[in-house]
Amino acid sequence: MADRILIFYGSYRSDRQGIRLADYLVRSFAARGADVELIDAKAVGLPMLDRMYKEYPAGEAPAAMEELAGKIRAADAFVFVTGEYNWGQQPGLKNLTDHFLEEWYWRPAAIASYSAGRLAGAHASVAWHATLSEMGMVVVSSTLAVGAIGRALDVDGRPTGDGGASLERAFPRFADDLAWWAAAAREQRARAKPPY
């Protein structure tokens, strides 16, 4: 059974370099046989959080929110591709995730961070780890961190130079870790109802 993986990306900037990493991950997970889809916060276009999905009466949530809730519930695992804004999380990605809660429960998540500089989004990665755990996901221990993203991936998300080679070496372990937890969580959800 192919893992159903959603790749979340959240930059709203006009010159988005992190989309290169998101595209790389979609292509790389698909090459491993996963059923993978990119969820681009900018394309989904949810407003600033007013009401969470669960706060709407059944059938009254905005169409984009309803559709995304179904995709999240049907997924086996998630990957959050995050840049770093002033040592913190991208507001677009955070806003998107905050619209949902119970939909995330009992599934693994992985974090892939990036930046134009050498720290590779490390501060955002740490912030996301705590946030995703609080939202009911198991965050896998393997992470990807891509510094100097403009030199590590070309405009089509293809690895280049030393940074790209490093990403290529790190991806298999990252993907294996997520796949292991996705299979474990899927089997447990089939075996026993979640405790809450």
Pair 78, 5: CB distance under 8 Å: yes
Residue 98: which domain range?
Answer: 4-191
102 belongs to a structural domain: yes
Whole-angstrom distance, CA of residue 151 vs CA of residue 169: 16
Looking at the structure of the chain, the number of domains it has is 1
Whole-angstrom distance, CA of residue 81 vs CA of residue 114: 8
- Region 176-180 average pLDDT: 98
16 belongs to a structural domain: yes
103 belongs to a structural domain: yes
The three-point CA angle 132-50-87 to 5° equals 40
110 belongs to a structural domain: yes
86 belongs to a structural domain: yes
| Amino acid at site 34 | A
Tens-digit pLDDT profile for residues 62-118: 999 999 999 999 999 999 999 988 888 999 999 999 999 999 999 999 999 999 988
- Region 11-15 average pLDDT: 91
In the chain, what percentage of residues exceed pLDDT 70? Answer: 100
108 belongs to a structural domain: yes
Whole-angstrom distance, CA of residue 14 vs CA of residue 104: 29
Whole-angstrom distance, CA of residue 85 vs CA of residue 190: 39
Which of 173, 76, 84 lies closest to 122, judged by CA? 84
Q: How confident is the model at residue 7 (pLDDT cuts 50, 70, 90)?
A: very high
CATH number at residue 57: 3.40.50.360
Burial tier of 160 (Cβ tally within 10 Å: 0-12, 13-18, 19+): middle
- Region 174-194 average pLDDT: 96
40 belongs to a structural domain: yes
196 belongs to a structural domain: no
- The pLDDT of residue 153 is above 90: yes
